[in-house]
Amino acid sequence: MNVKATKLTGVLILEPDVFSDERGFFLETWNRTRYENAGIQGPFVQDNVSFSKKGVLRGLHFQYPQPQGKLVQVLSGQVVDVAVDIRVGSPTFGHWVSEVLSDANHRQLYIPLGFAHGYCVTSETAVFSYKCTDFYNPETENGIVWNDPDLNIDWPIKEPVLSPKDANYSRLKDLRPDKLPHFRRL
């Protein structure tokens, strides 16, 4: 497995070893020991799968308190996946990274606690999988509007298909600091 750091400390791109032949391929999507050695903090307690059509944008989501770390990947199709540092006091607060995840490149993205997450589908359809370090809690879920001009995320489309909730989230600067995670130096 190849592990690449991003410009946001803790957000990692993982490229699992893929074993291919004329029958197809095999890859390991999770191995606790191997992933912990790569810096992935668990334990993971919930797995989710979503199906979306081209142009759908989901996000930017986070939970606080009760944040979730996520290990995400695409099982079918292609997305542009985005992680945004929303930890108050972080030197990279409001910065983001994006990565193309697809069934062709088999990449995974690890998004640690304290980050908002979203993705946009660029193929006809996509099946998206994510492992979470805490359970979904509707009482602590929140989000940032996808087109926050202060973040200036370079999404692949200008008029995505959004849920009403995602379309009406606030800008990051309008969220109270006590409603966001806080940066802790190690």
Q: Predicted confidence band at 184 (pLDDT cuts at 50, 70, 90)?
A: confident
Residue corresponding to tokens 């492992």: 131
61 tagged catalytic = yes
What's the structural domain count of the chain?
Answer: 1
Q: Do residues 169 and 60 make contact, with C-beta atoms less than 8 angstroms apart?
A: yes
Q: What pLDDT digit, counting tens, does each position of 58-72 carry?
A: 999 999 999 999 999
> 186 in a domain, yes or no?
no
Please say if the pLDDT value at position 186 is more than 70. no
Neighbours of 41 (CB within 10 A): 14
Catalytic residue among 61, 110, 117, 119: 61
pLDDT of residue 32: 94
Residue 60 lies inside a defined structural domain of this protein: yes
How many other β-carbons are positioned within 10 Å of the β-carbon of residue 100? 15
Q: What is the CATH number of the domain that holds 156?
A: 2.60.120.10
* 40 part of a folded domain: yes
Check: pTM over 0.85? Answer yes or no: yes
Q: 120 φ, ψ to 5°?
A: -125, 130
| 106 is an active site residue | no
Of 132, 31, 44, 121, give the one whose Cα is nearest residue 79.
Answer: 121
pLDDT of 133-168, one tens digit each? 999 999 999 999 999 999 999 999 999 999 999 999
**Domain-located, residue 182:** no
Cβ–Cβ < 8 Å for 153, 75: no
**Per annotation, catalytic residue among 64, 110, 130, 169:** 130
Instruction: Name the residue range of residue 143's domain.
Output: 2-18+27-177
b/e map 66-96, b = 16+ CB within 10 Å? ebbbbbbbbeebbbbbbbbbbbeebebebbb
Whole-angstrom distance, CA of residue 133 vs CA of residue 130: 10
Q: Is residue 185 included in any domain, yes or no?
A: no
- The string of pLDDT tens digits covering residues 6-39 is 999 999 999 999 999 999 999 999 999 999 999 9
Q: Which helix (H) or strand (E) holds 78?
A: strand 78-85
